[in-house]
Structure 1
Amino acid sequence: MKLVYTEQALLSLEETLTFLSAKVSPRKLLEIRNKILDAADSLLIQPLQGQEEPFLKHLQLGHRRIISRHYKIIYRIEGEWIYITDIFDSRQDPDTMNS
């Protein structure tokens, strides 16, 4: 299997880290980033470990989620590809994830 980050996922990660940069030390920021990326990498070993994402079920694309701290890593599997489609701070309103 291969892991691919969509443009939306990379943008979400960048926005999250930018927001956090004013609140935490650079060392802590790097730790948060690495934990998110490590969690995503774990999908290469167990791609079906995540639960179905109910807020995206209407798209009928099989979106799933895993959690790393306060962050949902949203993904879907297509053949040999795992697409990370969003990295969502679970403290936000989940309705903003519906697009």
Structure 2
Amino acid sequence: MKSSTEQTNENGRLTVEELVNRDKTFRYMLLSRLQSDCDYYLHYGGRHPKVLWAGDETRQIEFMTKLHESFGAGEKPEWLTMEQIRHYAAEMLGADS
């Protein structure tokens, strides 16, 4: 039986562990895609989870967090900070930012 962090999303996509072990370019591109999905979800997507890559708000934020954490200190994307991810969480989940 898989642990919660090993489960694929409902679309059968890769697990968190598989994603963070992919090459750096892939992780940057996917993180950018996840961010774009969040922006669409919040502004034009009617806040419907089907527009999110992960298919669920909580998993979307989890994937973004784990991907961001997978980069070393000098590799973190300048275009997306953990503070911004926390802001997405607050907007999408009502979590504290």
Shorter-chain TM band? 0.3 to 0.5
Larger fraction in strand: 1
State the TM-score, normalizing by the size of structure 1: 0.36
TM-score (normalizing by structure 2): 0.36
Q: Which one has more relative contact order, counting CA pairs under 8 Å at least 6 apart?
A: 1
